[in-house]
Each structure stands twice: as C-alpha cells, then as structure tokens.
Amino acid sequence: MRLLSALLLLQTLAFAQKPAGPLTGLNDQLVALSGQLHPAIVLIRSESFEPVSREVSLAVRQTGTGSGVILSEDGYIVTNAHVVGKSMTVEVLLAPPIGARSSPERSRLLEGRVLGRDTEADIALVKVDAHGLRFLEWGDSEALQQGQLVLAMGNPRGLENSVTMGIISSTQRQMKPDDRMVYIQTDAAINPGNSGGALVDLNGKLIGINTMILSQSGGNEGLGFAVPARIANPVVEQIRKDGKVTRGDIGVTAQTLTYGIAQGLGLKRESGVVIADVEPKSTGDIAGFQTGDIILSVDGRPMETARQFHVFIYRKPVASLINVEILRGEQTLKLQPIVVDQTEKSPNFGRLALSEENLVRRLRILGVPLDDSLLKEMPPLRKNYGILVAGLVPGALIQEEGLLPGDIIHALNGKPIATLQELKSFMAPIKSREEVVLQIEREGKTRFIEYRLE
C-alpha cells in the first residue's frame, strides 16, 4: 500500500513538472510581444474651447484623454479625430521604460502638433519633434480572419501601458446598412481612453486603430471596434502629404437594392445598387443620373453593394472621368460623370410641438405637411411637398432602418405624398406588419426605406 502511494506521489510530481508546451510558448510570445510594442504607444491629452450653442456666444473648455500609435522614428503619431477634437496642439506622453516603477512625466512629455484630421474615418495625425522613437508598422487588415488572436494596447481611463487580448469577432462590421465605414470588431477589452490605440496581430503589425465600443454600462462589454489599417493608412498618408483628406464624389447617393425596395418600386432586379438621390447641378446630375437608376458597373467592375460603389468613387482622383453603366427600365445606358472633391453638409432641423391630429399611428410618428410657412423655416428641399417627421412615438416596431425627426416623407410605394390624409389613405388597404417603401429626404439627400407598418 505504501509502495502504491509512493508511486502515485512520484507520478503526480512528474506530471506537475512536465512543461506546458504550446501554452508556455504562447505565453512567452505574448510577454515578448507586449514588451516590444509597448514603447510605440503614447497617451494623448487634448484641450480646446467649444461653443455652448450657436445662439450663445460663450465657449467652454473641453479636455480629453486618449491613446496614439507612433508610426515613424521621427515622431508621426496616429490617433482618433475625436481624441484631438479641434485642438491644434496636444500633449503627448511617451510610454515609461519597461519595468520602471516610477518615471517622471516631465521627462516623457512632448508637445504635439495636429497636422490634420478626418472625421469620417475618425483618424488624426500628430507630429512631435523627436528622433529615434520606437514605432509600429502597418499590417494587412484585409488578410484578417474571424477568430484570429489580437492585442489591444492603449491607456484606458488614463491608465498607462495597458494591454488586453481577444479575438477578431468580425472582419468587416458596418454600424448601419450601406454605411460607408467598416470596422474590425473584437472582444479584446476596450474602454474609454483606449481610443486611438493599437490593435495588433501576433506578428506585432498594426492592423487597426481602436475607435469605439458599444456598451450600455459605459465600459467594456466585448463589443470593441477599430478602424482597419487599409482605411487608416491611406488617410494618414493623405494628411501627411496634403494636410487634409480628399474623397471623390459625383453627387449621387446609392443604396443596396433589396427585395422589399425592388417590389415597392416595381423593379425587375432584386439585387444590385440603386440610385436613391441625385444632387441638383452635381456632376452626376449633369451626366444624366436619375433616381431609380440601377448601377451595373463602374469602369467595367460590377457593383453589388452601395458601399462598394461609394468606396470605388472615393478612391478616384479628383477631375478623373469614370464610366458608369446603368439600367433604366429596359434600357442600358452608359454615363460619364467627372469626379469632384466631396464636401460636407450638415443641415439642422428644428422641433415642432404638435397635437393629436398629427399622429400617424401606423408609422408611429408625429407628422406635419409642408406648407409655405414651414418651407421658409427649413433649408432648401428637393421637393416642396411631403410630410415632415417632427417627432417619434414610443413603442414602434423594431426596424432595420427607421424614420428620424427631420426626415421628409415624399412618397409611399412610389406614390407622391402631400398631405396627412393622403398618407393615411394610401396605407389603409395595406395589412399590419406588411412592408412599404418610403422615399424620404434626410440631410439634403433622398433615399428609400423599407418600413413595416403597425
């Protein structure tokens, strides 16, 4: 019995001393990688003065803290546009030496100049006067695979030199249908302060810039998002070269064609890209585009989604001529718009106090028909008729893409709408939860929305 006990003890000790093999190797690799990358991550503090409102000439100080990634030994640093805000200069705090228990800030603090920012990609470029800095190289974000291990590095809530590990949850995540931006989704812990930090692969390559989280608590819930390297890198290079980002535009808004939109508009195709809006006097308008045109190809490349179309136009040089093949009814046409520099527009809509008679129950909105007095108070519209969505009513059905206050409803299933009575009468024969296609105007552009009626 004693002999058996001794043998069991020896076996247990032998098992305990047996190396973990692959796990130990992975652990050592992560430790080494973290130490290698750590010096290239910085903390960024910004300060700017923002107006309280357009009506009040009073500004308040806004401060922010985030992260940044050194891209070159001479001090080019990438971060998020929302980290630097409108600041022209920021404080850049270099990482403390590895293993240092204490490191005076003043010995690591540098002034950074904001060279430029791009709010659409949420990328900014900062420059510090320094040399011999450790930096990261861009990786290939297009080669990422779902489930791949990654590290997120930054300064969450101002806590310097933090690293977390996770996997790629999605390689191309859009926040809403036809969104022009796509993100890398990861479950690596990302918290406020991580913005502008690095998402790296196990080769130490920079595959993304940590940008935002989706959270109900305000902290990490496993839904973190990073701007892919293939988007961030060209933005950085444009800012470094020109101080700004130029995107091609032809003045049309495209949507991915769905079965519901095709049925509502009486189209024969049920997939592809449909033109939802053509800006008056734009190069697209001059070239002959019309709302409802189906885009078949651009420069010989077939178009399957709206995002594919917009990104293709984005990357075209300003003043270049592109060849677009479209389908209009039964006719195939070839149009040649000129690419121009994209301009930002941000019109504002006021709120209206409405009565019970303005309730459109089946859409769960408070609507107001456009009239001369209302048109005078609004920015110029594409069509001077329709229903203004002045408010939303709680309890609406969950929609893929819903109505928003300020939207103008111009048509339902292709039928123009001028009054609330017309809108309600057109909906009357349609069954509950059946989908209709609304043509709306939002922020100066028209688009189609599939909407399930109450």
Cα–Cα distance, 398 to 21 (Å, whole number) = 50
Q: Which residue among the candidates 46, 87, 118, 122 is catalytic per the annotation?
A: 122
Going by C-alpha positions, the residue among 237, 148, 133, 157 that lies closest to residue 200 is: 148
φ/ψ of residue 140, rounded to 5: -100, 95
Q: Which residue among the candidates 67, 169, 195, 282 is catalytic per the annotation?
A: 195
Q: Which residue among the candidates 34, 72, 82, 285 is catalytic per the annotation?
A: 82
Catalytic annotation on 82?
Answer: yes
Catalytic annotation on 195?
Answer: yes
Neighbours of 6 (CB within 10 A): 10
What Rg do the C-alpha atoms of the chain give, in angstroms?
27
Annotated active-site positions, please? Answer: 82, 122, 195
